[in-house]
Amino acid sequence: MQPSTSTPQQDPQPAASRRHFLGGAAAAAAAVNLPIQACAQVAGSDELKLALIGCGGRGGGAASQALTAGGTRLVAMADAFAERLEPTLSSLQATFKERVDVPDSRKAIGLEAYKEVIQHADVVLLTTPPGFRPMMFKAAVEAGKHVFMEKPVAVDSPGTRMVLENAKIAEQKNLKVVVGLQRRYQANYRAAKEQVKQGLIGDILSAQCYWNGGGIWKVDRKPDWKEIQYQVKNWYHFVWLCGDHIAEQHIHNIDVINWFMDGHPVSAQGMGGRAVRNNAKETQIFDHHYVEFAYDNGVILNSQCRHQPNCWNSVSEIIVGSKGTLYIDGGGGANIKDRSGKSIWRYRPQGTDGDPYQNEHNELYAAIRDNKALNNAQYGAESTFTSILGRYATYSGKMVKWDEALAWNNSEMPASLAFDAPATVNPDKDGNYPFAVPGQCDPSKPGAYA
């Protein structure tokens, strides 16, 4: 990446004024190393207590779905910003009334506020920007809590390893974990997976997947914001927070291919860049990625994602087999055609399909109460790292191997999670943020994007 020379903006307010932690650090610390028998409820519970960590749009949606699932009560909330927590709380209270019971003593504000609310819950909902996910998942598992966490579950190699390690610990503690890759909870995808498993398309030969759309949002900088505050407000534009859009959005399609392949790729190479998203004062991330993923059996996945207006758009997957081809997308249908182009199987949405976002939560709470095995963390981490591997390939312009890249120590997380702490990515003297240049960027090294 291009070099950066400036220092972070200074915040006129002390760090303590930016966060208030309620409930006591001692109680949180005591909850970290519980024995297995003291972990969150695993069966026969009348009511499951929820803690929401990350109160933006996805957080409010996840909390609503968790409450709709029934037998749940929202008792604690945390967010980096009070101006997000309070409107979400009011909206949920308006809909769910007394089942939203979050007094001031169970609210926390700040980048480390998650530590203060985990202790109050049986189930933790992790819906912050993805860069924070590994440490929050680790804390929830250590405290013996069941988890719903949004995708992706990491943005780099160390974060992925942390999730994989804690996926195993969650299994040992009999904790239930659902990752928000909702296509695995969607009826048309489940039906199509069964047809492929039964051999209707024959042996898988190749695959294609797409997340091509128009673009994303941006929040204008305010004069009193320090650097980390601005970046968290604009988390989608910074690699350490979002992992680029190949990880944040395109992971859905990549995960489908991993699911149908029953595994992950072993290498990736590709290309990408900034054709229209080229204002270095606003963003680090690319606006297009094209990656060729290779699986160990020789199958190639050609993966496209693009954020460019007025172009061909698609959010879908195609899987080519020796007997036929599967066409599928998030709209609820699916179609298999034989080699002559004749449709030999079709799935149309059914009245009983349900909303896949709601299905995730319904199945999570049923598994907790019935003590059934449910842990998505392993495949969630593998699909996350597949998308990260693709980013490594497009940023570097190199062929990148799974095993080698997973071992890299390339975390971009700030040493201290406070708004007045130094950022690891800063604008240069002209206000430009560093960004990857293929052929020059080395994603294996920490600070390579700075």
Let me know: does 273 contact 288? Beta carbons within 8 Å: yes
Report residue 79's pLDDT band, with 50, 70 and 90 as the boundaries. very high
Omega of the bond prior to 87 within 30 degrees of 0, cis?
A: no
Residue-level pLDDT at 447: 74
- Whether 286 shows a pLDDT value over 80: the answer reads yes
- Whether 272 shows a pLDDT value over 90: the answer reads yes
Coil, strand, or helix at residue 407? coil
Residue-level pLDDT at 448: 76
23/104 Cα distance (integer angstroms): 9
CA 118, 120, 126: angle at the middle one, nearest 5? 35
Under 8 Å CB-to-CB from 32, ≥6 apart: which residues? 139, 142, 143
- Whether 13 shows a pLDDT value over 70: the answer reads no
Q: Which residue did the predictor score with more confidence, 6 or 55?
A: 55
- Whether 12 shows a pLDDT value over 70: the answer reads no
Amino acid in the structure at residue 329: D
C-alpha distance across the termini of the chain, in Å: 6
Number of Cβ within 10 Å of residue 132's Cβ equals: 25
Q: For the segment 17-54, what is each residue's pLDDT rounded down to a tens digit?
A: 333 333 333 333 333 344 444 455 544 458 999 999 99
Let me know: does 176 contact 264? Beta carbons within 8 Å: no
**Closest to 252 (Cα-Cα) out of 328, 168, 176:** 328
Tell me the average pLDDT across 252-263: 98
Percent of the chain residues past pLDDT 70, beyond the cut = 90
Tell me the average pLDDT across 368-397: 98
439/104 Cα distance (integer angstroms): 51
347/117 Cα distance (integer angstroms): 43
- Whether 99 shows a pLDDT value over 70: the answer reads yes
Helix (H) or strand (E) holding 206, with range, is strand 204-213
Residue-level pLDDT at 46: 81
Q: For the segment 213-236, what is each residue's pLDDT rounded down to a tens digit?
A: 999 999 999 999 999 999 999 999
The pairing of beta strand 123-126 with beta strand 48-53: parallel
CA-CA-CA-CA torsion for 88, 92, 94, 97, nearest 10 degrees?
-140
Q: Which residues of 328-360 are buried (b: 16+ CB within 10 A; e: fewer)?
A: bbbebebbbbbeeeeeebebeeeeebeebbbbb
Under 8 Å CB-to-CB from 31, ≥6 apart: which residues? 118, 119, 143, 144
Alpha helices (H) in 177-321, listed in sequence order: 187-197, 227-233, 239-242, 245-248, 251-261
Lowest mean pLDDT among 11-20, 93-102, 132-141: 11-20
Tell me the average pLDDT across 321-338: 96
Under 8 Å CB-to-CB from 76, ≥6 apart: which residues? 49, 50, 51, 52, 102, 106, 107, 108, 117, 120, 121
- Whether 191 shows a pLDDT value over 90: the answer reads yes
- Whether 85 shows a pLDDT value over 80: the answer reads yes
Residue-level pLDDT at 31: 37
Q: What are the structural domains of the chain? A: 15-183+361-375 (3.40.50.720), 187-350+384-406 (3.30.360.10)
331/33 Cα distance (integer angstroms): 43
Give the bridge partners for 335, in sequence order.
327, 346
Residue-level pLDDT at 446: 84
Burial (CB count within 10 angstroms: exposed 0-12, middle 13-18, buried 19+), residue 71: middle
Amino acid in the structure at residue 383: S
293/399 Cα distance (integer angstroms): 10
Instruction: Give the chain's mean pLDDT.
Output: 91
Residue-level pLDDT at 412: 85
Number of Cβ within 10 Å of residue 5's Cβ equals: 9
